[in-house]
Structure 1
Amino acid sequence: MEPVKSAPEDRAAEPLTEHVQRVTRALRAFDRRRPLVWDLHFTAFWVTAALIDLVSGGWRSTAHDLDVPVVLVLALSLGLTVPLLPRRRHPLAALLVTVPFALVNAWTGAALQVSHLQLVLVFHLTLRGPLRSLWWVTALLTTPAVVSAVRHGEGGSWTQQIGSVLLSVGVVALIAVTVRTRRDHTEVLEERAHRLETERDQQLRLAAAAERARIAREMHDIIGHNLSVITGLADGGRYAAAKSPERAAQALDAIGTTSRQALAELRRLLDVLRDDDRDGPPAADLAPQPALTDLDRLLDGVRRAGLPVAATVKGGTTLPEGRQLTLYRVIQEALTNTLKHAGPGATAHVDLSHEAGGAVTLTVTDTARTSPPPARPGGRGLPGMRERTSLYGGTLEAGPRPHPDLGWRVHLHLPEESPQ
């Protein structure tokens, strides 16, 4: 069975249309860059046509008076054609320049056909100027017709000449208004397309900035927590080295494991920031984000760093990944702050409660022996926790525990999930 072939004329029509559009766009672009070139060619064409009409005597076939001096006809021909040169920049001035020549043309009876070029000026004036000017422009163009009818007319030539002028001006004005309307509509569409493109670019930049901010928060949480754990393990290993070399070796092993985990997570995040194109992400990029199922591993790392921590989890509602990541990072940041600031002998407790409807309450407390320093809530940790919480409409409170208790308390509440 032979494949169906499209009609040759269908294939040829589209390339021809595209070619015409391409040539038209190129001509318009050239005209925008060098408008004087087209204006000179257009004006020179009509000046040449008027001079040919003068030399050949063709003007006598429509003249009311054949005795009009040739010099006057030459002056009228130039006066009605040369003003076409500034027709696009100054159409009103060009039209006013031609009016005296049109009146002399009608009074003397030369009746040169080149006077109809005033309609070109009417077209450009309607295209660029206020439409209310058409009233007195029509009066200006009708005056030579009245003069010609009064001086050289016969019988019913009044209505014929004036009606012809009014009809010509009306048709030219209608064409100009149509072109002007289409041009304005095209400009509106182009402006709208440009605005939409700008808004799209802004949305892309905002999305990229939000993603980079998210990655920055992840990097802060990962590096800050793991460095705090490593610091605690190193301090513990240094104290244990003199009395228990085995405990020191265990601390060094834990430091190595924590460091490798931190480097792996850091590489995964940095790969996202790469600007070079590649066919696909490496396997490390596909590692899932931490969730509440990884909470035990997090607490074990904190305990190895020397901070006794207990956890209480009430309820077993499964949460979306985003909420789990928020809870995990808040617990991680709170315990990291405890490692940094609580001092020796401190303990911590994590209380996580799943409520009905998907709401969650989290409280992380520590039992520092001294009051927390004033600078403790500074830096990026607390703002990062608040930003994560606000993404789900939650609230977060962080501050010293009520007197007489010493230590620090972080309390987070995520409300019920909104129905889709």
Structure 2
Amino acid sequence: MSAESKDKAGFLGRLFKMRHAEESFWEPNPEAVEETNPAPEPAPEPVAEFATEPPAAEPAPPPDVVEEPAPAQKLNWWARLRHGLARSSSSIAQGVADIFTKKKLSADMLEDLEDVLVRADLGVAAATRIAALVGKGRYDKQIAPEEVRAILADEVERVLAPVARPLEIDAAKKPFVILVVGVNGSGKTTTIGKLAAKFSAEGKKLMLVAGDTFRAAAIEQLKIWGGRKNVPVFAREPGADAAGLAFDAIKAAQEENADVLLMDTAGRLQNRTELMAELEKIVRVMKKVDAEAPHAVLLVLDATVGQNALSQVEIFGRTAGVTGLVMTKLDGTARGGILVAIAEKFGLPVHFIGVGEQADDLEPFTARDFARAIAGFEEENA
């Protein structure tokens, strides 16, 4: 074959391959067609009314359900509290240091101290009183920042000591019904999971109630918490009547001889009258089963909301008869002093505080530890 014939044959071969590749490129891909036209998914199975075990295929936990670290990574409570209140204590300590370093005490300095404490949300009354204590007998004298922080810690402890009371479970009331309330995002469901872990460790027989029927995610989240501690979760399908659920759950807990029933509720803004009326209905219906129920109503407060927490305490207290407080997310704010303002205005028991997302980051409230941590003391017994 001549060179010219070979070149012509090679050209025709390449042309054939190009045409074949072009046709393959435009040919529909059966797998792609199936992707764009998926078969309809089967209808979901109805939610079990009474789940005593976690789902076989556990869904991925919501963002605020965090796996506990290995024991070696855990710090003691004081260290976690000190770390959790770091933003609040740093703000106060820096403000105090800026005001009182190598200066003689004056009225202007005391006004500046009040401003620092008000910005930390301790409240005007507490800020004024602490500034007066700092100024007592010290005008025209130097005062060290450490001395100012010691006065602050002592006064905060004095205010908080009367409200630092544990949540007492009356064993004569079975089940001891605890209703957990609060606004959207305050951490109610997570708090219930953490309390369940604590009560389980104490040997109490529990039942959890998924009363946030507006959010399917909240129901699943509570089942995850319950599954971890082998605690039964009483639940209905999303959208079920929360009051009816409460009625049936207490009946079921009585039959199971449970020690404690912990009921979640949907988050509701305190200024939504129709939602607050629904909360009143839940309480009324509970009393049809047990005239004394709920035996405790815990209001979960998000520390990051600052002064808004005061109105939440007032309105939820009037609507649901709040008996005690749980303050969460103290690690996410520089305004941890709001607990002082709440204690001073309402005098409600503060049972627990939270400084993180793991189960043992919620602990019984102690006034001295909190006061010294927020004042910026490094050592527990300093």
Normalised TM-score (structure 1): 0.20
Normalised TM-score (structure 2): 0.21
> Which protein is richer in helix relative to its size?
1
